[in-house]
Structure 1
Amino acid sequence: MSHNPESENPDVEPSATQANSDSASNDAALDELEQAIETTAAAREQSLPGDELSAVKADLDQAERRVLMAQAELENFRKRMRREMEDERRFASLPLIKDLLGVVDNLQRAIEAAEQSESGGGLLEGVKMVAGQMESILAKHNCQVIDPLGEE
């Protein structure tokens, strides 16, 4: 059975939808600004009196600055969304890992108890194999063993 964090985590879908909506509105604003620049550039090509020409040039410069700012803002937005989605994917399995940590501790206690018992040879091997599997699964999900309270 495969584990798909996006299908179980309801928070993943809304942020993706929000990202698409925000991206679409940013793209629309960019298109509007680019159209204003083209219109102003077309007006610039026509011969206008001095005052009107300088006013049109000023408008064009201002529109170009707005487009550059909008493009930079859009790029920053996209980077932030990518970063947030990576974080969501990375931490999606955290509740599962927290739940499994108690199981791992109990397996370790069972191994220690079986080692002290003389009749627990077969049980000890089975529990050790299960504990090894559990540790490899946790390691696959970037879960590392830490020393509890400074034990070595």
Structure 2
Amino acid sequence: MKKTSPEPREEDKIPPPVPAEPGYSSTDGEATDDPVASLQGDLDRFRDLALRTQADFENYKKRAARERDEGIKYANRSLLERLVPIVDNFELGLFAAREEGERSPIYSGMSM
């Protein structure tokens, strides 16, 4: 039987977060004595980041929908371009069979 050690492996250990230096605001890079102002600056920065991320996601959804619609449109276009010559050939064959008479086996087969 193999024993497993209760100690976490070296790569599983997560380093603790580094505390910010007191009196230092990370938003403007200047030393401040007011921790509330520092926290307010961080809050403003994170709100701005959240709004930008939300706007980026909305733009992504619109772009993905537009690309999906264009893909369907152009896929149908390709299909129709391949079908037009087939329909033309059937019409020509039906016209040629009609000239032989409507009782001809070619006409009855083409008109099905």
TM range (shorter): 0.5 to 0.7
Bigger CA radius of gyration? 2
Give 4+ residue runs of structure 1 displaced > 6 Å after superposition: none
Show structure 1 runs of 5+ residues with no match. 1-38, 40-47, 130-152
TM-score, length of structure 2 as denominator length: 0.57
Q: Name the counterpart of 1:112.
A: 95
Task: Write the mapping of 1:120-139 to structure 2, written as runs, cut at 5 A.
Answer: 121-129=104-112
Shift of 1:93: 4.2
Show structure 2 runs of 5+ residues with no match. 1-19, 21-31
TM-score, length of structure 1 as denominator length: 0.44
Task: Write the mapping of 1:63-142 to structure 2, written as runs, cut at 5 A.
Answer: 63-118=46-101, 121-129=104-112
Equivalent-residue separation in structure 2 for 1:93 and 1:85 (angstroms): 12
* Structure possessing the higher relative contact order (Cα contacts under 8 Å, 6 or more residues apart): 1
Change in CA separation of 1:75 and 1:120 when aligned onto 2, cut-off 3 Å = same
Number of residue pairs matched by the alignment: 82
Deviations 1:125-150 (A, max 9, x none): 21122xxxxxxxxxxxxxxxxxxxxx
Percent sequence identity over aligned pairs: 27
Equivalent-residue separation in structure 2 for 1:87 and 1:98 (angstroms): 16
